[in-house]
Amino acid sequence: MRALLLSAYEQLNVVDLPTPTVAPDEVLIRVAACGICGSDVHGYDGASGRRIPPIVMGHEAAGTITAVGSDVKGYHPGDRVTFDSTVYCGRCEFCQRGEVNLCDNREVLGVSCGDYRRNGAFAEFVAVPARILYRLPDDFPMEQAALLEAVSVALHGVRVSDLKGGEHALVIGAGMIGLLTAQAAREAGCASVLIADIDEDRLAMAREVGIPETLALTGEALIAEVLRRTGGRGVDVVLEAVGRAETVTAAVDCARKGGTVTLIGNIQPEVPLPLQRVVTRQIRLQGSCASAGEYDDAIAKLASGAIRVEPLISAVSPLEDAADWFRRLHSREAGLVKVVVTPEASR
């Protein structure tokens, strides 16, 4: 099969690899579409430490089943599916509680981090356990299905924020996850949703997908504007979708007393914590990791148009052109948000 191999940092090549063999509990999927995630871009240059070459990256994908293992029930060749990026064991304490994102034996497709190596979906075929599959409606576009993993991450971040409805929310970061999180917060019943970024093109996309209140601000200027808009109170919940020291600090200072700061972004492994402001204002810090069962909701929300992803797809690329798109994303080319690779159409 043809696959996009990260053979060394910042070196991607289309190569011929053996088609994966299918274990008894797995299915083989012909990959129709796979999105380039920001974490893949950070893996491309070695920044994350979680894409140690050689590895076939890619975890935001959808396709058609071509073969099923001997123990698989309920799925057949020809079924259109997507799948969780988290390969969870289904047996540990966390899986038994439904917290599959916290699985003790968790692996992630397209990741090699030293503890494990699992090839992903920038390839014509990928094998995954049937337990992580989700069926797609017959008319669901595959390019949009490749964004379901990101939508599920956004829905999870909102879910763990424990919203009751009527909240005033701020999303920091208008990248892919931030744009989806803002829509998820709106759909969860927030009375207002602000989104902040320093990239005007991304803020324009926020407005296109129905988030009209945008702030081209960061740092102290962002904090001042949020406090001005809320009469000095701050917002009820801040959803931080960047993961840098300055944005985490701003998130804390934009939240009202007793408010919630949900941390979704994780670019930097460590950031300073304004401890006294968190403690004396009783701010709740909530981490959010991947997703845990939000795929069906994600499929329903995209199918109904409640969450829109089509304006966020910047390009659809064959496998042969994907390395160039990685370089362009890595250089932060203006206007690029999501590039979807189509391995099954590549020759």
Confidence tier at 346 by pLDDT (50, 70, 90): low
β-bridge partners, 194: 170, 213
- Whole-number pLDDT of residue 300: 98
> Where along the chain do its domains lie?
2-147+309-345, 153-287
Residue pLDDT, tens place only, 194-216: 999 999 999 999 999 999 999 99
Region of poorest pLDDT, from 229-238, 246-255, 260-269, 319-328: 260-269
Confidence tier at 49 by pLDDT (50, 70, 90): confident
Give the class (CATH, top level) of 2-147+309-345.
Answer: alpha beta
CA-nearest of 86, 90, 81 to 61 is 81
Query: Strands across the sheet with 255-263, in order?
Result: 213-215, 192-196, 168-172, 235-240, 255-263, 284-287
Residue pLDDT, tens place only, 19-47: 999 999 999 999 999 999 989 998 999 88
Give the class (CATH, top level) of 153-287.
Answer: alpha beta
Residue 344, pLDDT above cutoff 90: no
- Whole-number pLDDT of residue 219: 96
Confidence tier at 269 by pLDDT (50, 70, 90): confident
Backbone φ, ψ for residue 278 (5° rounding): -70, -45
Q: Do 17 and 56 touch, CB atoms closer than 8 A? A: yes
- Whole-number pLDDT of residue 347: 53
- Whole-number pLDDT of residue 47: 82
- What sign results for the dihedral spanned by CA atoms 38, 44, 45, 50? positive
pLDDT: is 217 or 48 the higher one?
217
CA-nearest of 62, 339, 308 to 184 is 308
